[in-house]
Amino acid sequence: RAASMGYKTAFLEPDPHAPAAQVSERVGFGFAEADLEALAARCDVITVEFENVPPEALAFLEARVPVRPAGELFRVSRHRALEKHALAALGLPTAPYRVLAPGDDVAGVLGAVGGRGILKTAELGYDGKGQRRVASEAELAAALAELNVPCVLEGYVDFVRELSIQVARNPSGELAFSGLVENLHAGGILRRSVYPAAASEETELAARQYARTLAEAWRLEGLLTLELFELEDGSLRVNEIAPRVHNSGHLTQDGGGASQFEMQLRAALDLPLADFAPQLPCVMVNILGWPEDQPEPAWEEIVRLPGARLHLYGKAHRPGRKLGHVNVVGKTRAEVLEGAARVEAVLGVRL
């Protein structure tokens, strides 16, 4: 995106054949000081779209060149306990939670979060990896012993739907919001995102307010995604935060507004911002690696479907791995939901 906006870019990446190399200069392969030095020397501003860049690497870069969003946001959001504490400090509601370490006495802990919960590794989890559902103290003790790393136990949230919203903020302090997106997960993995969400206007306003609170309190310089649970009564709980572009934001690529990728750049570059809700209803369907005993999906059937836009990432196939997505755009929510069901039929998705 940056290249098409006229910017010269450079990146760090271990794979010499990374797709970005077609439009950008790969100046190093990792986080060794020489690589970081080479990157800093070439850049006026650095942006990040991956949580697990080592914090020391971000600190090294920040001493040399503006890094947007700041390393501090990644340090907090990559660690579930720090993330939950930070949300609580700002008065944003989350599931009840307890921080646990291997060997901790779990007596009474599950009861304190509501009797049923999800134990999550504090760091490095994604797509529901490193999570165990627990419904008894014995299950909790066993899950903690099995995961064997610092964890956060969250009370189970009986949500009616999952939502996400994005906010961009530039160093001048301008803010811009995405639309409210509805997300469907299966097995901890995002399968489908729908815009607009079937939530009320009040719920959307509350989501925006939470996003605004975070962006302003953290003096965000970049883009941030907020994952939310909506309860029966319309109130929200924050699930997690990602200070970067997000899978649920991919539908901004084809919905007719600015994409989340452009917004992250605009914010990091201190360009003027404007709200970036898609102009058309849109559904994003994730393409996960198919089981080894099944054939590759019939891509041509997908590109023939009206309103369907196929995005394949060119990654090596592995069952369950996110390999691409399809955005289906149309005039009404009903139309794009029907289109998404057709895409899912071709992909063999059963939810």
Stretch that binds ligand ATP, among 6-14, 33-41, 141-149, 155-163 (CB under 6 A): 155-163
CA distances from 314 to 36, 115, 286, 287, 323 (A): 27, 43, 14, 12, 7
φ, ψ at 282 (rounded to 5°): -155, 140
Residue 267 has which token pair? 């914010």
Which class for 192: exposed (0-12), middle (13-18), buried (19 or more C-beta within 10 A)?
A: buried
Q: CB under 5 to 8 A by kind: which of Mg ion, ligand ATP, none does 127 bind?
A: ligand ATP
Under the criterion CB under 6 A, does residue 185 sit at the interface with ligand ATP?
A: yes
Report in angstroms how near the CB of residue 126 gets to ligand ATP at its nearest. 4
Q: What letter does residue 52 receive in the DSSP assignment?
A: T
Q: CB under 5 to 8 A by kind: which of Mg ion, ligand ATP, none does 156 bind?
A: ligand ATP
173 known member of a binding site = no
Angle ∠(138,144,126) on CA atoms, nearest 5: 125
103 known member of a binding site = no
275 known member of a binding site = no
Residue 12: CA atoms inside 13 Å, Cβ hemisphere, count? Answer: 26
Stretch that binds Mg ion, among 147-155, 198-206, 224-232, 254-262 (CB under 5 A): 224-232
Q: How far apart are CA 13 and CA 316, in angstroms?
A: 16
Among 95, 168, 273, 285, binds ligand ATP (CB under 6 A): 95
128 known member of a binding site = yes
Give, as ranges, the residues between 248 and 287 that touch Mg ion (CB under 5 A): none
How many residues make contact with Mg ion (CB under 5 A)? 2
Q: CB under 5 to 8 A by kind: which of ligand ATP, Mg ion, none does 182 bind?
A: none
Selection from 188, 235, 203, 189 nearest residue 94 by Cα: 235
Kindly calculate the radius of gyration of the chain based on its CA atoms and give it in whole angstroms: 21
Residue 107 has which token pair? 């007596």
Q: CB under 5 to 8 A by kind: which of Mg ion, ligand ATP, none does 330 bind?
A: none
How many residues make contact with ligand ATP (CB under 6 A)? 17
Q: What letter does residue 46 receive in the DSSP assignment?
A: B
Under the criterion CB under 6 A, does residue 262 sit at the interface with ligand ATP?
A: no
Q: How far apart are CA 147 and CA 120, in angstroms?
A: 9
Among 31, 156, 261, 299, binds ligand ATP (CB under 6 A): 156
Under the criterion CB under 6 A, does residue 260 sit at the interface with ligand ATP?
A: no
Among 28, 125, 179, 324, binds ligand ATP (CB under 6 A): 125
Among 36, 86, 162, 221, binds ligand ATP (CB under 6 A): 162
Stretch that binds Mg ion, among 66-74, 138-146, 225-233, 312-320 (CB under 5 A): 225-233
Report in angstroms how near the CB of residue 187 gets to Mg ion at its nearest. 13
Contact 254, 327 (CB under 8 A): yes
Residues at the site binding Mg ion, with contacts judged by CB under 5 A: 227, 240
